[in-house]
């Protein structure tokens, strides 16, 4: 009954969106939601300036919990409803001269009623992390010098000029779907700071060829290894990373590292790219009781096509990426984004863990594809875009590979500046013997997104 009510509620939300958009299209055709970027000129010409960007993502979710999940009061709980802040960010960058650029980016992520806050603000004495007063932290702190305009720029700091794939440096302002699949950031919160590392990078464009390379000093991370199962281990060795792509049609701007998810028909882009990340002796396992270190070797190859069709009335957006990850034998991480539940019955819990956690990053292969289709704009200028994704994961530590999918609907009120997204996500669940269950577990998420 609860599941039927949840599905009915989602259907009513979709209908209400459509009705509201239709009503606005007939009653308030003249509303203009557009605005100019928040920019401060540093000289009369406007060549020197500061640009400010602010954005928030808010989630309402209904999750079908993994087997064995318990509520914070100790009861078995099959479903959870939650509110949470997925992201709240502030970014500023300044072109202080034709050669120099400085960027600062800070904010919070993933706070709900039970987690994401500062230490010492626990909801109960049993919780490990706090749930209130989240600590703002820096995502990016870097400066850049243009050696040769557009062809070669060199920067230093805590940066996001990542290798591996386009999606590993994805902007969070303009996802084609609701969010990223997370495995595109394979080092997340282990040897990086929310997908960033300290280092030196070089980037540029040589005609249609776009590149970025970096040498970084990853953050220290250490966890005791297990027999024939690798975990991150402490090392002071540098890491090397890069991503290269060729732009067959329209060229993309690479002033900032953030790749666009979809141009919503404003550009005609077709890119093919490939990248890598290499960090020697960064994981370790026990082999017959002896600690053995392993190199982290990560590779990706991807394709991106985003273009208007049907005379510009529609657009299509396609992205597909194949990852080959090697962290050492049987490395695997389970992750649950804005997980509404963290308690479980240890005698019944799945291998996934509680709530919405699932096997996300590990040694093995991942193939991810997303496809969106922009419908014609309504009379009021808003637009809908249905989309689907498919993910195939083949992790060494699990006994079977898995397939999973997302189905979603974007409502672009003012393109990516203001939008509402509804998504249903299905995930695989494994038992304690690492065998895949026959059913997929689902999660409904409604997201509001605004940035200036």
* Model pLDDT for residues 221-233, shown as the tens digit of each residue: 999 999 999 999 9
Give the tens place of pLDDT for each residue, 171-193: 999 999 999 999 999 999 999 99
Question: What is the pLDDT confidence band of residue 30, given thresholds at 50, 70 and 90?
Answer: low
Residue 18 reports pLDDT greater than 70: no
Mean pLDDT of 319-336: 98
Integer Cα distance of 375 and 383 in angstroms? 6
Q: For residue 176, how many other CB atoms are within 10 A of its CB?
A: 25
Mean pLDDT, rounded, for 353-378: 97
Give residue 299's pLDDT band: very low, low, confident or very high (50, 70, 90): very high
Per-residue exposure over 306-318, b if at least 16 CB sit within 10 Å of its own CB, e if not? bbbeeeeebbbbb
Class of CATH domain 40-451: mainly beta
- Poorest-confidence range of 35-44, 82-91, 184-193, 413-422? 35-44
DSSP 23: H
pLDDT band at residue 129, thresholds of 50, 70 and 90? low
Predicted confidence at residue 130, as pLDDT, reads 80
Residue 213 has pLDDT above 50, yes or no: yes
What's this model's pTM, rounded to 2 decimal places?
0.92
User: Any idea of the CA torsion for 265, 269, 272, 274, to the nearest 10 degrees?
Assistant: -80
Q: Please report the pLDDT score of residue 74 as a whole number.
A: 83
pLDDT of residue 2: 44
């Amino acid at each position: 009954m609860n599941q039927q009510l949840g599905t009915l509620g989602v259907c009513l939300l979709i209908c209400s969106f459509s009705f509201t958009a239709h009503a606005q299209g007939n009653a308030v055709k003249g509303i203009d939601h557009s605005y100019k970027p928040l920019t401060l000129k540093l000289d009369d010409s406007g060549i020197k300036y500061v640009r400010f960007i602010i954005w928030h993502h808010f989630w309402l979710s209904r999750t079908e919990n993994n087997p064995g999940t318990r509520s914070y009061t100790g009861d078995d709980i099959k479903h959870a409803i939650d509110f949470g802040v997925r992201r709240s960010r502030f970014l500023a960058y300044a072109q202080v001269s034709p050669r120099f650029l400085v960027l600062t980016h800070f904010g919070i992520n993933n706070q709900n009623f039970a987690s994401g806050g500062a230490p010492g603000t626990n909801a109960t004495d049993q919780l490990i992390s706090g749930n209130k007063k989240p600590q703002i932290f820096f995502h990016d702190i870097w400066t850049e010098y243009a050696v040769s305009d557009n062809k070669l720029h060199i920067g230093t700091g805590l940066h996001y000029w990542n290798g591996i794939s386009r999606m590993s440096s994805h902007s969070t302002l303009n996802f084609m779907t609701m969010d990223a699949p997370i495995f595109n950031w394979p080092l997340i919160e282990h040897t990086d700071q929310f997908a960033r590392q300290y280092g030196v990078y070089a980037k540029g464009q040589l005609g249609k060829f776009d590149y970025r390379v970096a040498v970084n000093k990853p953050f220290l991370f250490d966890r005791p290894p297990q027999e024939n199962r690798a975990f991150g281990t402490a090392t002071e060795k540098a890491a090397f990373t890069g991503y290269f792509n060729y732009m067959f049609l329209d060229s993309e701007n690479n002033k900032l590292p953030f790749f666009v998810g979809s141009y919503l028909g404003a550009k005609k882009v077709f890119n093919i790219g490939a990248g890598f990340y290499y960090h020697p002796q960064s994981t370790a396992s026990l082999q017959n009781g002896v600690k053995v270190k392993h190199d982290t070797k990560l590779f990706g190859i991807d394709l991106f096509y985003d273009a208007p069709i049907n005379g510009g009335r529609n657009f299509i957006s396609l992205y597909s990426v194949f990852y080959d990850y090697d962290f050492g034998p049987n490395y695997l991480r389970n992750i649950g984004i804005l997980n509404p539940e963290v308690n479980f019955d240890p005698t019944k819990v799945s291998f996934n863990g509680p709530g919405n956690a699932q096997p996300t990053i590990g040694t093995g292969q991942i193939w991810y594809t997303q496809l969106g289709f922009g419908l014609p704009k309504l009379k009021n200028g808003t637009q809908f875009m249905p989309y689907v994704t498919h993910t195939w994961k083949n992790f060494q530590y699990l006994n079977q590979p898995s397939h999973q999918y997302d189905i979603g609907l974007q409502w672009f009120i003012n393109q990516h500046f203001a939008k509402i997204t509804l998504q249903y996500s299905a995930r695989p669940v494994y038992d304690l013997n690492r065998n895949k269950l026959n059913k997929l577990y689902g999660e409904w998420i409604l997201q509001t997104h605004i940035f200036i």
